[in-house]
Homo-oligomer: A and B are copies of this chain.
Amino acid sequence: MDKYNILFLPHNIEVTVMKGENLIRAAMDAGVHINASCGGEGVCGKCRVIIEDGNVEGGITEKLDKKDIEKGYRQACLSDVLSDLVVRIPIESEVDAGVLNLQKTPRKTARIWEMNFEELKDKGLFMPPVEKKYLELPEPTSQDNLPDVTRLISFLKAKHDEHRLVVQLSVIRKISDILRQGDFKVTATLARPVQSGRKTHIIHVQPGDTTNRNYAIAVDIGTTTVYAQLVDLISGDALAQFGDYNGQISYGEDIISRIIYAGKPGGLDKLHEVVIATINKLIKKMVKKARIDPDEISTITMAGNTTMTQLMLKVNPKYIRLSPYVAASTLYPPIKAIDLDLTLGDHVTALVYPAISSYVGGDIVAGVMGSGMYRTEELTLFMDIGTNAEIVIGNKDWLACASCSAGPAFEGGGVKFGMRAAKGAIEDFSMDPVSFEPMNITIGNVRPKGICGSGLIIIAATMFEMGVIDNRGKFNRDLNTSRIRETEGIYEYVLAWKHETRIDRDITLTEPDLDNLIRAKGAIYSGCMTLLEEVGLKIQDIDRIYLAGGFGSFVDLEKAMVIGLLPEIDPDRIRFVGNGSLMGAKMSCLTNRIRKDVVEVTKRMTNFELSETPSFMDNYVAALFLPHTDMDQFPKLKARLERRRALQ
């Protein structure tokens, strides 16, 4: 794809973008503010820019008169880049030179960490958990009338050096017909469960040669969303991936309400049934999309938090929510997929990721396994941010973990106009330092409907750095802007006026919203700090941070440090692992090395109950400020704020 350079004036900032990039997003990436309330749908007409050189597509609307258009005026939010450009931002208000030096830092998201199957093989981490062998067996005669299973086992011993072979009843039931259907030329699927004392299980037989078709399913069972991947066990590729709402949502939005529902008569069975139905639906979609024969699926691995895992297994999670928060079990044996009512072959065994405790579940263990943090020397901080945030610190020698309740602010809960990261959510933001006018960018470039988690962080951080809110999240009552107002005793900032939105109401950010945000980030940050203290470390000792969870990939790392959600660390040392749970599940499908290691890792990982750790409350209270009571923990921000104060 072609790349073009854009020079923004009068800032004199250059940025490189792909052909066709939207101009207002290019400005945002460059850290150049353009007033824009309507999220990029062209409604507010404020994002007027002058194209001094080069070509754009679009950007001409009835909000520009003929003369403007001739002068090169365009609406940035409707203009797509077609060449190198020189773009001037009209400075319509009185601005001193300092404003241009107060550029927002360009958005910096974490680099994405991805698993590489070939690398896995190169590192010697590849031990196929299921494997197919094509066999041409001798046909029985009256001199050689061994039982069919014995014939198969003897051949595998003699010709393929396979030993300690066992079969399951499903194979015994089908073997006679399949051998004869394939004229004794068959493919046997061998599984090597790591916990069965070096036994190899013959789990499936198929007529003919099917060795080039061998698949697995990886599933992440989230409280809200279930994701599944169809993995090609030969190439390591994901052939299809789908997500869908967890069918349990109708029975309660969060974990606690699910646990309560499970305690009602028939509740546990119901919750089990509907989440299995969700998984089955995803399997069906993937099989259809990839056009494979479902009989070729040889294994499935699932990961989820402790409650989701127990519900999926039809284990009542009731004691998870009662002090002292005891899980029934954190280790789960391999289970036949059909025994869980999964619509898979009777040869398929389901592997379920073990948990660490009631609130550090298999999803986190899967993330730790998938990220490989348990294998390196480097000291790593792994964080999965959601309503509950889970934190793991450690390396190949030791691992410590904890979970804390952050509340739903990052998922749009407890925020007046909060929403999930969906079309219409304000996901990026900048503010004019003089007029305090906003630059809203929404998912899908449409008029805004609300604010998603990553948007909320950017807005709060920007306002804090510009002095629009103080370190307790309170608006500066002295600013000269109509956007800050008091409604029914509550201060708020109007991000978009009623007519610029999709919801026909002013979209605002309120002080209670900011309060919830501060509590959420405070819980997570103090969780990290407490866990570090417990293991005798400081944040400076951390070599690397892994961010997991749907939330993480869009987070502006610098902004997250400004509000004190993340500790101040070189952003290049932060990696986004995405859905760590799904990634770990996928890796377990691909290699037994992970299945083997996970037993050790769960033993090695020490769980800290933060509620039982006296210093946690002190750390929490200290973290209920932007970014923190102790500004020395955020030296870069401290320096920046001091510089800004000197400038103004």
Contact = CB atoms under 8 A, between A and B. Distances in A.
Interface of A: 140-150, 166-169, 172-173, 175-177, 180, 195-199, 313-316, 318-319, 323-333, 335, 339, 355, 357-358, 609, 611-612
Given A176-B328, A196-B196, 7 more contacts: A147-B357, A148-B328, A150-B330, A167-B331, A173-B314, A176-B315, A196-B197
Contacts of A329: 147-150, 167, 172, 175
Contact of A331 (B140, B144, B149, B328): B149
Nearest to A149: B329
Chain A contact surface mostly: loop
Contacts of A196: 196-197
A172 B339 CA distance: 15
A148 to B, nearest CB: 5
A143 B612 CA distance: 7
27 contacts: A142-B323, A142-B324, A143-B612, A145-B357, A146-B326, A147-B326, A147-B330, A147-B355, A147-B357, A148-B319, A148-B329, A149-B329, A149-B331, A167-B329, A167-B331, A167-B333, A168-B333, A169-B332, A169-B333, A172-B313, A172-B328, A173-B313, A173-B314, A173-B316, A175-B329, A176-B328, A197-B198
B176 A319 contact: yes
Contact of A324 (B145, B323, B324, B328): B145
Contacts of A325: 145
Contacts of A143: 612
A542 to B, nearest CB: 28
Given A146-B326, A330-B149, A173 B612 contact: no
B333 A612 contact: no
A169 B330 contact: no
A176 B146 contact: no
Given A195-B166, A316-B177, A140 B335 contact: no
A612 to B, nearest CB: 6
B148 A326 contact: yes
A195 B165 CA distance: 11
Given A326-B140, A326-B146, A332 B199 contact: no
B609 A169 contact: no
A419 B147 CA distance: 35
Contacts of A333: 166-169
Contacts of A146: 326
A454 to B, nearest CB: 34
A610 to B, nearest CB: 12
Nearest to A143: B612
A142 B357 CA distance: 13
B169 A326 contact: no
Nearest to A175: B328
Contacts of A180: 319
Nearest to A612: B142
A198 B198 CA distance: 12
Contacts of A327: 147-148
A155 to B, nearest CB: 14
Contacts of A177: 316
A166 B169 CA distance: 21
Contacts of A319: 148, 176, 180
4 interchain residue pairs of minimum CB distance: A197-B197, A149-B329, A145-B324, A147-B327
A315 B330 CA distance: 36
A339 B140 CA distance: 31
B173 A315 contact: yes
Contact of A176 (B168, B176, B316): B316
Contacts of A314: 173
A326 B332 CA distance: 38
Contact of A197 (B141, B172, B199, B324): B199
Contacts of A313: 169, 172-173
A332 B173 CA distance: 11
Contacts of A144: 324
Contacts of A331: 149-150, 167
B197 A328 contact: no
A145 B360 CA distance: 13
Contacts of A148: 319, 326-329
Contacts of A168: 333
A203 to B, nearest CB: 11
A543 to B, nearest CB: 31
Contacts of A172: 313, 315, 328-329, 332
A321 to B, nearest CB: 12
A324 B318 CA distance: 58
A353 to B, nearest CB: 14
Nearest to A144: B324
A423 to B, nearest CB: 41
A320 to B, nearest CB: 9
A195 B201 CA distance: 13
A145 B322 CA distance: 11
A274 to B, nearest CB: 18
A427 B105 CA distance: 106
B173 A326 contact: no
